[in-house]
Amino acid sequence: MHSKKKIAFHTLGCKLNFSETSSISKGFQGSEYDLVGFAEPADVYVINSCTVTKNAEKTCRSLIRKAHKVNPNAKIAVVGCFSQVNPEALREMGSVDIILGNEDKYKLADFLRQGVTDKIGSDFTQVQVNEPNAFVPAWSSDDRTRSFFKIQDGCDYFCSYCTIPLARGMSRSNTIAETIKVAKEIAAAQIKEVVLSGVNIGDFGKLHGESLHGFLKELVKVDGIERIRISSVEPDLLTDDIIELVAEEPKLMPHFHIPLQSGSDSILQSMGRHYTTGDFANRVEKIRSLMPHACIAADLIVGFPAETEALFQESLGFLESVLVSNIHVFPYSERDNTRALNIQGFVPIPERQKRSKIMQLLSEKKKMAFYEYNKGSDAVVLWEKQNDSGVMHGFTENYLKVQANYKSELVGQLTKVKLDYLSPEGFFQLDPKS
């Protein structure tokens, strides 16, 4: 009897990638492969890549080198967005054996079964990069507490700084009925919380004459799923009926992620965004009017071409004025084949980093204000499985982090707590005696 080969996976980038890696890895369970950690010796290393920033590509290259160092004879497969957008850059590294784009990455097991897999260490690279057109549902199951549930893929927006439409194709999803079938699979796996994931989930159902609102109304009826979080939704697609449904429906968590990208209308226009700062502020006000305690996260890019110091200060002032709970800040990163490369007004990288730090400080200030606002309130925490030196943590409905002494019986359970003590580290801590 032959001993099993070992395969290791690593995911870069978004929640969508995590759901897809989990689905790809499921195809190897019970096969001739055993799944191992990426830092361990393996026969095959798989990197599900990201290409949103130069940093993501740099990290991917670093992981390839590390895998090759751990086992120079291992087969290395890079799949996903980097492979889709720039397969030649990966081929030129010389140590990548399989390069699969987003349309073909689900065929990884087939490629590994082909005869070339016996030529471990050969200089022959298999490359398959087709235009992403199909929708392949996916959900993660590594953590029985929470699942990243892919409900949509691709984007039709073509913002001037973004390569995602090139990497992921046009917006698409399954029908509500088909997506609910997958939700029932997740429920059957006894996973209590799902995080709806996609590139632009506000577009869900667009090709079928359906909507995200219509899907949410059906999803809350699925027995077994107790919590539903909606990941990033564009301001122009976050409709009143979605916000009102979240406010009314206990299964829908009061937790929103709204990509702003800039607090300057002129920069938003240069970015090719589909809304104004006034539209964004209106969405925040609508949420706050119905759910004062809701968590509202925003995405922001600093140092975009033509963002002068005055426009940066305008953006900063706008972010100071709106009641968001935290800000995910990204320095602008030049990407090939994007219109932003033709915009005059280059912002030096040190200045981008400086502006990023300023916005991050504002984010910390807003996060602490949000935690202080919730201090003394009652909440329900879903406890996660990770044991950090006798300590566990979980999250409330509105995504406040809570820490407690580790108790294995609490993992995956929902418990009521009182948010009394805010630790110096910036999260709620239960009384050690409780």
Both tokens of residue 245? 């449904």
pLDDT, tens digit, 9 for 90 and up, residues 347-401: 999 999 999 999 999 999 999 999 999 999 999 999 998 888 899 999 999 999 9
Of 132, 143, 260, 243, residue with least CA distance to 195 = 143
Burial label, 352 (beta-carbon count in 10 A; 0-12, 13-18, 19+): buried
* Distance from C-alpha of 227 to C-alpha of 222, rounded to nearest angstrom: 11
pLDDT of residue 167: 93
Signed CA dihedral, 398, 404, 408, 409: sign only: negative
**Residues of the chain with pLDDT > 70: what percent?**
95
Burial label, 278 (beta-carbon count in 10 A; 0-12, 13-18, 19+): exposed
* Distance from C-alpha of 340 to C-alpha of 155, rounded to nearest angstrom: 17
Mean pLDDT of the chain: 93
pLDDT of residue 309: 98
pLDDT, tens digit, 9 for 90 and up, residues 286-321: 999 999 999 999 999 999 999 999 999 999 999 999
pLDDT category at 130 given cuts 50, 70, 90 is confident
Q: Is the pLDDT of residue 123 over 70?
A: no
Both tokens of residue 358? 């300023």
CA angle 58-61-67, nearest 5°? 140
Weakest mean pLDDT among 98-112, 136-150, 266-280, 344-358: 136-150
pTM: 0.91
pLDDT, tens digit, 9 for 90 and up, residues 303-312: 999 999 999 9
Q: Is the pLDDT of residue 192 over 50?
A: yes
Of 209, 216, 90, residue with least CA distance to 151 = 216
Winning range, highest mean pLDDT, from 114-128, 140-154, 330-344: 330-344
pLDDT category at 119 given cuts 50, 70, 90 is very low
* 3-class DSSP state of 379: strand
